[in-house]
Amino acid sequence: MINILFTANSQRWAQYEKPLRHALDDTGLPYVLSQKFTDPETVDYLIYAPKGSVSDFTPFIRAKAVLGLWAGVEAVVDNETLTIPLTRMVDHGLSQGMVEWVTGHVLRHHLGMDRHISGQDGQWRDYIPPLARDRHVTVLGLGALGGACARALAALNFNVTGWSRSRKTISGINCLSGGAGLDQALVSAEILVLLLPLTPATENLLNNARLSKMPRGGVIINPGRGALIDDDALLACLDNGHLNHATLDVFRTEPLPENHPFWAHNKVTVTPHIASETRPDTASQVIADNISRSEKGLALRYLVDRNAGY
Ligand code: NDP
């Protein structure tokens, strides 16, 4: 019998129990799925999300892997009690949700939609936006989510530049890497989308010097992680007119505190970490597939590189 402990909170258990059982049944493996096992030493796999029931993995001496429900792993990657393999979530539904959110917000700024949405005041605002092919969009991070968004934007004809740690070749996208590549990616970024993980190497990456490299009037869209950006530097660049807008989905502290200047700033749009969510149906299949692979002695998919931090 394979014992699978669901450690995410009860609200997620309500969403995930049925799809997980469905996906696990399909594997044909004998299993017990529960939010609690009396003896942690009997648990084979842990399904994990931050702020759940487990933060000390020491008692799970038989466990073979911790399977994350989230794409971002910064809350667990440094946990010293976690010595077994850790996987993160790469899920078709999650990617599709992010593509839709990013595309929507890029189009909002590209088309200048706010002029007409908030300007029902009798003024004939005849602003004609450029075509997408003449709009430079840069995506920092070309992984599961950034790569999908870059491809979707390129399919709409945007002039897309992407930046990642390892150099990539993606048809229709100007792919860059390294420090010089980042400078180049920023200099052309009329619209900048952040889909990097939060690691020691990416924290505060968007500081004053780098934000200043963006073209005047640039827009930032951040569904990655709040701490990728130096908040004060961003506010300064918005206030001095260098940047035109920031659409932010993620923050250093979540929920964003009521008194945070982002809330009241007329050049900031706050969305409450809803850019994309792991979808229970598709994510359950990913979890079940990984358990099945592990039981057959195959390599786990979406393993986190603990040294790189993502
Ligand atoms: P991936 O691990 O698939 O991709 C990460 C990308 O960032 C890769 O291209 C990677 O490069 C690049 N990268 C990492 N570190 C560096 C660095 N130091 N310099 C340059 N590039 C770097 O992650 P996902 O695409 O699945 O997710 C990205 C992030 O999106 C998550 O970590 C999470 O923070 C956020 N997220 C936000 C959600 C929301 O609702 N707001 C929902 C889900 C995720 P390389 O390809 O070379 O490895």
Residues 193, 132, 236: CA angle, nearest 5 degrees: 40
How far, in Å, is the centroid of ligand 1 from the Cα of 202?
10
Task: Name all residues whose Cβ lies below 6 A of ligand 1.
Answer: 71-72, 90, 94, 141-146, 164-166, 195-199, 201-202, 223-225, 249-250, 273, 275-276, 310
- Provide the pLDDT for residue 86: 98
Q: How confident is the model at residue 123 (pLDDT cuts 50, 70, 90)?
A: confident
CA distance 206 to 236: 13
Pocket test for ligand 1, best of 90, 167, 195, 248 (most atoms within 8 A of CB): 195
CA atoms within 13 A on the CB side of 91: 28
Q: Where are the domains positioned within the chain?
A: 2-91+278-295, 92-270
Query: What are 43-82's pLDDT values in tens digits?
Result: 999 999 999 999 999 999 999 999 999 999 999 999 999 9
Atom 48 (ligand 1) nearest CA: 165
Mean pLDDT of 287-291: 98
Ligand 1 atom closest to 145 (CA): 25
Tell me which residues are annotated as active site: 225, 273
- Provide the pLDDT for residue 118: 73
* Within this chain, domains 2-91+278-295 and 92-270 share the same CATH topology: yes
Query: What are 239-286's pLDDT values in tens digits?
Result: 999 999 999 999 999 999 999 999 999 999 999 999 999 999 999 999
Mean pLDDT of the chain: 97
Span of 112-116, 167-171, 300-304 with lowest mean pLDDT: 112-116
* DSSP SS3 for 30: coil
Helix axes 144-155, 92-111, angle to 10 degrees: 50
8 A C-beta contact, residue 219 and residue 109: yes
Q: How confident is the model at residue 126 (pLDDT cuts 50, 70, 90)?
A: confident
What is the CATH number assigned to the segment(s) 2-91+278-295? 3.40.50.720
Q: Which residue, among 200, 177, 182, has the nearest Cα to 306 in the 3D structure?
A: 200
Does 176 have pLDDT greater than 70?
Answer: yes
How far, in Å, is the centroid of ligand 1 from the Cα of 310?
7
How far, in Å, is the centroid of ligand 1 from the Cα of 267?
26
- Provide the pLDDT for residue 225: 98
Instruction: Name the residue with tokens 């669901």.
Output: 6
Does 119 have pLDDT greater than 70?
Answer: no
CATH domain 92-270 topology: Rossmann fold (3.40.50)
8 A C-beta contact, residue 47 and residue 277: no
